[in-house]
Structure 1
């Protein structure tokens, strides 16, 4: 059955694309060429903080080549994602928006696959995955690129500094001072929350534990050279996930945060497509067994 989705050939293949955006969030839904039906996989592509739809396009093409419908979400507001807690209401709003796109395009019966990048995409994945699971949707697997990480104030500042450098052409020393001010504001924010009984550290850990328990197969892509998401954090999540689901992983060793595709494009595509194929094959074998039992 999996052969229906073809092999990965030319990633530059032209596709029909319809774009949907909102005032504060960047969304895009892309359709492959050819017939669409209830067996066409829907891929949720959840970008890193500060990503754009243009930056996500090369990831999108991987799945369009596999005859998937791809719903992409980016977080374009610089730094906004760093101040959002794992259970922030806006994340639920984004999840409902993405699910609404599925309903509007009559995709509620299609198998679902996730491709998630960095902690921003990861926490959106947690909310979206939980909601879809409660609705008994057919979730077949997830790729987790450069995530997740434990909660750490210094890591937040480091991530914010990296983002500033990418967006604003100013000396690192000046950007560092600005990032430090933001860090202190965040610490004050977290301290005020703790006075009300809310622990940011516990919420981040709960999010990691919750996603590790998701029952579908997972592929973790990470690197020892990632200074934003330490490999030790990813490895700990892998061990948690192994308790409840099939898990694969690959350490790229030298690539930086969410740069694995840029540095190792052929290997990255091969890892993603091989895993995707195995997830779809398992799903359709299971569906076939269920249909046979009903006869």
Structure 2
């Protein structure tokens, strides 16, 4: 199977938990896309928000080199990863379940961008029922300083200072040239994730979790992005945690974060049930057939 080529984790809830929460309807599948350098033990804490609600959860984090090198230089390596991730739904026969994404930082949002493009353009995936997305600490645009902070945190203290500063210098120069100075030209070859999703946003609802204290992704970037989606008719909501740092909102405010994610999921499922009920009523009422 194509899905075997990527390192992911999928967890199915027990039947009683699913039945208790979803009462005979198909339980949601929540796909969590981790931030650059995220360890699965950290991502699993977020997946428990949903598994405890009887959801199927899929966890995946893109490799560092793909996020910081391939994407920075315009290689669409994550496009094939997006394809493999969506194929997992068919491999485990959950393609008819409602799908929710939980996306972290630019590392997860880069991959989310390609997933959106596949859902919009590929016939196989156009039938998938995506009902919403939670976006944590993303997206950001053209922030070289923030990107350097993210790479510094990802490299960790084990790398020697010489190698560290060499990598940071090379990364800073390349990002500035390709994604800032020359971007008015390079965007015609490869748009960044921020502009690509902003230009062709998906129709499903989005919930943005962010903070003014984030020093990696500017809160103004996220708020500007939210406003752009709203103007295009996308249902968008957000919450500013004010004091928590990058991808640390759950750590600092676990109960509040969990409640907001679960409330968003419940609202998306409620909307889906409403649409299904209206569709069934439309099928049963055949009075429209006589109208010419």
Q: Are 1:260 and 2:249 counterparts? A: yes
Match of 1:102 in 2: 89
Q: Quick one: which of 1, 11, 22 aligns to 1:30?
A: 11
Larger Rg: 2
Contact map agreement 1:44 1:113 (CA 8 A) in 2: yes
Contact map agreement 1:38 1:109 (CA 8 A) in 2: no
Structure 1 residues 84 and 207 mapped into 2: Cα distance closer, same or farther (>3 Å)?
A: farther
State the distance in 2 between where 1:103 and 1:252 align. Answer: 37
- Give the TM-score of the pair, scaled to structure 2: 0.82
CA displacement, residues 33-53 of structure 1 (integer Å, 9 cap, x when unaligned): 117787221111110011122
Match of 2:34 in 1: 47
State the distance in 2 between where 1:190 and 1:240 align. Answer: 21
Task: Summarize the alignment of residues 53-202 of structure 1 with structure 2, pairs less than 5 Å apart.
Answer: 53-75=40-62, 77-85=63-71, 88-134=75-121, 135-164=126-155, 167-169=156-158, 175-187=164-176, 197-199=185-187, 202=191
Contact map agreement 1:26 1:53 (CA 8 A) in 2: no
Structure 1 residues 202 and 100 mapped into 2: Cα distance closer, same or farther (>3 Å)?
A: closer
Q: Answer with 175-184 or 88-97: which moved more.
A: 175-184
State the distance in 2 between where 1:173 and 1:272 align. Answer: 42
Contact map agreement 1:157 1:180 (CA 8 A) in 2: no
CA displacement, residues 42-74 of structure 1 (integer Å, 9 cap, x when unaligned): 111110011122110011111111111111111
The alignment yields a C-alpha RMSD, in angstroms, of 2.8
Deviation at 1:156, TM superposition (A): 2.1
Instruction: Give the secondary structure class of the aligned counterpart of 1:282.
Output: helix
Deviation at 1:169, TM superposition (A): 3.3
Aligned length: 269
Structure 1 residues 194 and 258 mapped into 2: Cα distance closer, same or farther (>3 Å)?
A: closer
Instruction: Give the secondary structure class of the aligned counterpart of 2:35.
Output: strand
Structure 1 residues 231 and 185 mapped into 2: Cα distance closer, same or farther (>3 Å)?
A: closer
Where structure 2 has 5 or more consecutive residues not aligned to the other structure, the ranges are: 19-23, 285-292
Deviation at 1:205, TM superposition (A): 4.2
Where structure 1 has 5 or more consecutive residues not aligned to the other structure, the ranges are: 1-19
Structure 1 residues 115 and 156 mapped into 2: Cα distance closer, same or farther (>3 Å)?
A: same
Match of 2:263 in 1: 274
Match of 2:287 in 1: none
- Give the TM-score of the pair, scaled to structure 1: 0.81
Match of 1:226 in 2: 214
State the distance in 1 between where 2:65 and 2:193 align. Answer: 18
Q: Answer with 37-46 or 107-116: which moved more.
A: 37-46
Contact map agreement 2:33 2:103 (CA 8 A) in 1: yes
